[in-house]
Amino acid sequence: MAHELPPLPYGFDALEPHIDKETMEIHHDRHHKAYVDNLNAALAKHPEQQDRGLEDLLRNLNSVPEDIRTAVRNNGGGHHNHSLFWQIMGPNAGGAPSGALAQAFEKLGGFDQVKAQVKANGVGRFGSGWSWIALESGGNLWLGSTANQDSPLTDGRTPILGVDVWEHAYYLKYKNLRPAYLDAWWNVVNWAKVDELYRKAGGR
Ligand code: MN
């Protein structure tokens, strides 16, 4: 079964003024679509890999045939990362988390400290990549970044929030000012969704 580009769960202009409509159109319809298309093209070379779920592929990259492993890592990662990214953003969002996730953030110094660390990890990622909040297998939160389209799944972590720091995510509006993009980005975070992912991943 071919992997499919998920529809954006809101309009292209829904995240204005923080993320502009044109960026969203290009990002979803071209960049994300290309990851899906390239993932399917790679898997077509090994039909027995086509029925594996995306999480399975990324969590167990070593079991993917070597000649397509890099393509699956990059494009499968790109597909999974962006699918999460669209979900954890939304219109009329922002604010602060509540419930179990807010309590978990307290153990890391509180919400402001977590935001500062996610920003620092994003600013500090040289070149392209992602800044993450993920769960370790033991249930503890992990704040960190990955290069390119590498997924935290490949390191045994379950991502619950990721912010894309590739230039294509912000360059039209913010130019080279990645820190300004990261500051504005908190206004579009759907914390109810992040909390849901936290609990699904076994956070407590
Ligand atoms: Mn992207």
Q: What is the mean pLDDT of each run of 10 residues along the chain (204 residues)?
A: 95 98 98 98 97 97 98 98 98 93 95 98 98 94 98 98 98 98 98 95 82
Ion ligand 1: residues, CB < 5 A: 164, 166
Question: What pLDDT does 202 receive?
Answer: 87
Q: Please state, in angstroms and rounded to a whole number, the distance separating the CA atoms of residues 131 and 147.
A: 9
Q: From ligand 1's centre to the CA of 32, what distance in Å?
A: 7
Question: What pLDDT does 146 receive?
Answer: 98
**Is residue 6 situated within a structural domain?**
no
> Rounded to an integer, what is the distance from CA 128 to the centroid of its chain?
13
Q: From ligand 1's centre to the CA of 73, what distance in Å?
A: 15
Of 166, 165, 146, the closest CA to residue 156 belongs to 146
Picking from 63, 87, 111, the residue at the C-terminal end of a domain is 87
Q: From ligand 1's centre to the CA of 79, what distance in Å?
A: 9
Q: From ligand 1's centre to the CA of 107, what distance in Å?
A: 30
* pTM for the whole structure: 0.97
Residues 55 and 76 grouped into a single domain: yes
Q: From ligand 1's centre to the CA of 166, what distance in Å?
A: 6
Residues 124 and 185 grouped into a single domain: yes
Q: From ligand 1's centre to the CA of 154, what distance in Å?
A: 18
User: For the chain, percent helix, then strand, then coil, each to nearest 5?
Assistant: 55, 10, 35
Q: How many domains in the chain?
A: 2
Buried b (16+ CB within 10 A) or exposed e, 93-111: bbeebeeebeebbeeeeeb
Residues 108 and 180 grouped into a single domain: yes
Residues 107 and 195 grouped into a single domain: yes
Helices (H), the chain: 21-26, 33-43, 54-59, 66-71, 77-87, 99-106, 111-124, 171-174, 178-185, 191-200
Residue 130 per-residue DSSP state: E
Is the Cβ–Cβ distance between 162 and 87 less than 8 Å? no
Q: From ligand 1's centre to the CA of 101, what distance in Å?
A: 25
**Is residue 3 situated within a structural domain?**
no
Domain that holds residue 51: 21-87
Residues 48 and 119 grouped into a single domain: no
Task: Count other C-beta atoms under 10 Å from residue 27's C-beta.
Answer: 23
Residue position matching structure tokens 């040289």: 126
Picking from 87, 113, 134, the residue at the C-terminal end of a domain is 87
Residues 104 and 82 grouped into a single domain: no
